[in-house]
Structure 1
């Protein structure tokens, strides 16, 4: 089975790192990702630069990315102002975030979950009017650092509303890395029932070492789109000792060894992970770059 791996390193991989990388390094990260065969990249987020200084140069980054007909660049937005910036910058897709629990949503976005969904309704309509695909990521879908377990019925209801608003894709995010494969199976089935026909994507963190098991569980359920970050950088600021996103190169190794295809060169991605670690001043959490591929071939 073919799996589309969405590279989120330029956005989620960098936005919580202490070291703020210059635009030219971010652009090179994206160029390296494209050269490795990655065709969907969450390149930037259009959020308040005072709150997320790592993303303050979103427009500059988008102005410098390589433009190819087979590569789609995603911009993350939280509100209509962010959408307007994203459209002006020339993104191919926008991805809005709705946190599944009120406490986390207020802390993260300053609004309740219902208010975030109302904002998504407007974002989806405006994006459709502009001819730009719009997806929604349901954050903290597996658990919340403030409220504990996230009710799966809540996640399904948000997905239902997103489907009704015209979302082109629904992504479920294990934002703090607490999920297990049983939850992946349960949420996949609930969301498919709530949002029939809407493609499903997953975004896993490896905070408690379950991220890759969860990714393979999603693939076993027929999910064909997964997020990952080169080097395994990033993570949630509300998750103590978070180890970041699942690493693109390590995910590719697992998918390829399972007989799946991605069209991406895992060895090239691993080299980029090591390169990115040098720029961030710390080794990449990913393991493929250390252990090497087996039986010695890329892909």
Structure 2
């Protein structure tokens, strides 16, 4: 096995990528309670919400109120997903720490999700980057369907690398490569990670997996072996894309942290606190979540002889 990193960083995306697909629209105070539970568990990077059309994603209509109400913690980075200049302006007004511009790696997903092709999104990104620079706010990019599109099939590594190169050309180094509907295979993960290392060594990549077909943590392991040290995940496994069919939840944060800690890889996160946050999330959304560790407990959670097995 290749040498694994000693430490990785994790951005929690459940408050945005998770709640955007939930039937129950959580009130702002419940979102705040969940955000604070995640921060108490050690998270220093939260994708808090998205400044998108409330008509399209009513679950996130309180984006500005959420930023206004959340008590800021020293060393905690609050990110806002934005699809266009208008969203960027709203996020800047709300005092987001980081803007995350989203674009698709395929034409079909881009048109359905953002009403524009990837290259049209790149033009929009140019304007967003200029707007953010004037406000002295960092822009990251989230590249959807980087491992496969539910409408077009496989997305070529060369296509993803070309888009990432164009993004880097705008002075943006931090790019998340997202497996939006859980189409990534171990071979694809390795191929993209190798291509990034060989052809775009200055890009600072994060990998973002969904567990649609049960391969989310497999993707994480392969990415670790290829030197990826930034990941995105969701509390309790919440999540899915509202504009893509059969998009199941994200890789579960506490399940991934459990695996990483068992491998001797530090995350800076408290597993017990994450489990409490996941249990809170489950109560708030009102249905069973996919996370396993929140149900079974850590591997070495031992049972007394008198406990029911």
- TM-score w.r.t. the length of structure 2 is 0.93
- Alpha carbons 2:186, 2:218 under 8 Å: kept: yes
Partner of residue 181 from structure 1, selected from 169, 186, 197: 186
Partner of residue 102 from structure 2, selected from 94, 97, 102: 97
Q: Which moved more, 1:279-288 or 1:119-128?
A: 119-128
Q: CA deviation at 1:294?
A: 2.4
Gaps of 5+ in 2: 1-5, 303-309
Partner of residue 249 from structure 1, selected from 248, 254, 267: 254
Query: How big is the alpha-carbon RMSD for the aligned residues of Structure 1 and Structure 2?
Result: 1.3
- For residues 125 and 241 of structure 1, what CA distance do their matches in structure 2 show? 36
1:141 counterpart residue number: 146
**1:41 aligns to 2:46 (yes or no):** yes
**Higher radius of gyration, 1 or 2:** 2
Indicate the SS of the match to 1:295.
coil
Q: Which moved more, 1:191-200 or 1:9-18?
A: 191-200
For these two proteins, the number of residue pairs brought into alignment is 297
**1:26 aligns to 2:31 (yes or no):** yes
Give the alignment of 1:1-299 within 5 angstroms: 1-296=6-301
Using CA pairs under 8 Å that are at least 6 residues apart, name the structure with larger relative contact order, 1 or 2: 2
- Alpha carbons 2:20, 2:242 under 8 Å: kept: no
- TM-score w.r.t. the length of structure 1 is 0.96
- For residues 191 and 239 of structure 1, what CA distance do their matches in structure 2 show? 26
- For residues 123 and 196 of structure 1, what CA distance do their matches in structure 2 show? 24
Q: CA deviation at 1:241?
A: 4.1
Q: CA deviation at 1:28?
A: 1.0
- For residues 61 and 241 of structure 2, what CA distance do their matches in structure 1 show? 18
Distance 1:178 1:251, change over 3 A: same
- For residues 68 and 181 of structure 2, what CA distance do their matches in structure 1 show? 32
